[in-house]
Amino acid sequence: MSRITIGVDVGGTKTAAAVAIDGKEVSRAEGVGGAVRPGRALASATVIAETVRRALASAGKLRGTILMVGASGAGRPEEREELRSALRSEELADQIHITGDIEIALAAAFGNDPGIVVTSGTGSVAVARDSFGRLHRAGGYGWQMGDEGSGYAVSRAGLGAVGRAADGRSPKTVLSKLLLEATHSETMDQLIRWAAKASPAEVASLAPSIMIGAAEGDTVAQGILDYAARELAQLALQLLQHFGVDERTQVGVATNGGLLKGQSALRRMLFQRLHDEPRFRLIEDPIDPPRGALFLANTVGPT
């Protein structure tokens, strides 16, 4: 009988599922964000189930053998068990395994080998696996306590800059126009009302506008991205201590998340800062978290 594995990456703004049959990927599907929130695992499970069913349908299947879900917000055992329980009733696979999004990102970048992944999406975090297989993390404390260099932090800084510019407390910025357009606001008052009601994910969705402003040469937008790059670099540097003191030991660093895709301005600025640390070996190729989830699924034996 064929072994059908399903790997899922669940983020704040997007959920992606991949299906493999006997180790060969055959289909994918994407859905809305489904990050886990305490006490709200059912909402995440609904998003995951809908996305997985579309991926299975594209593969001509109704059910899998193993479902491996790497979910943002599922770092604690309580959230993982709550999500696992909610998914059992969906009958998507014989076995269901829940881990964090950082674990599948590491697997996508390095398999079982050591390395560091810096993630910047709606939130931000850096995670390392050392040569003994132990996991370490820096950041990832959520939008109230941290998430420096994240889509939320970048966008919140942009909104703040627009407010200060409106008062004349800081320089005029093209972000005033860009954020009005991005939020479909015609006036500053409408933008204020939008911001007052926006969720963290909605605020984070403004980050591409900050990128556009920086590309147009706006010094305010460029300053926001420069600060974000410094904060993300600091996360990686903080994790370097877990790889010993031998300066000859090279440590791979990969990036993940919507703000660090391809040749984004923030990714370029981050890599410029990481180049200053000679021990870092920068991974230029993008990583694929759903493939990391499939990798972990294929390491699971029968129960």
115-148 pLDDT, tens digit per residue, is 999 999 888 889 999 989 898 989 878 778 878 9
DSSP characters for 88-143?
HTTT-EEEEEEEEHHHHHHHHHHTTS-EEEEEESSSEEEEEE-TTS-EEEEE---T
Average pLDDT estimate for 166-176: 92
pLDDT for 59 beyond 70: yes
* CATH 3.30.420.40 given to domain 4-107+289-297: yes
pLDDT for 261 beyond 70: yes
- Min mean pLDDT across 12-16, 35-39, 44-48, 133-137 is at 35-39
**Residue bearing tokens 């994910």:** 201
201-260 pLDDT, tens digit each = 899 999 999 999 999 999 999 999 999 999 999 999 999 999 877 777 899 999 988 889
pLDDT of residue 142: 78
pTM (two decimals): 0.82
Q: For residue 138, give both structure tokens.
A: 């820096």
- Mean pLDDT over the full length of the chain: 90
CB 90 within 8 A of CB 117: no
Nearest to 102 by CA among 295, 280, 292, 269: 292
The top-scoring range by mean pLDDT among 5-14, 207-216, 249-258, 291-300 is 207-216
pLDDT of residue 146: 76
Rounded Cα distance, 273 and 239, in Å: 15
Rounded Cα distance, 11 and 9, in Å: 7
pLDDT for 24 beyond 60: yes
pLDDT of residue 303: 53
Average pLDDT estimate for 93-104: 89
pLDDT band of 302, cuts 50, 70, 90: low
Q: Is 26 left (phi over 0), alpha (psi -120 to 50) or beta?
A: alpha
pLDDT band of 92, cuts 50, 70, 90: very high
Average pLDDT estimate for 267-292: 91
Share of the chain above pLDDT 90, in %: 65
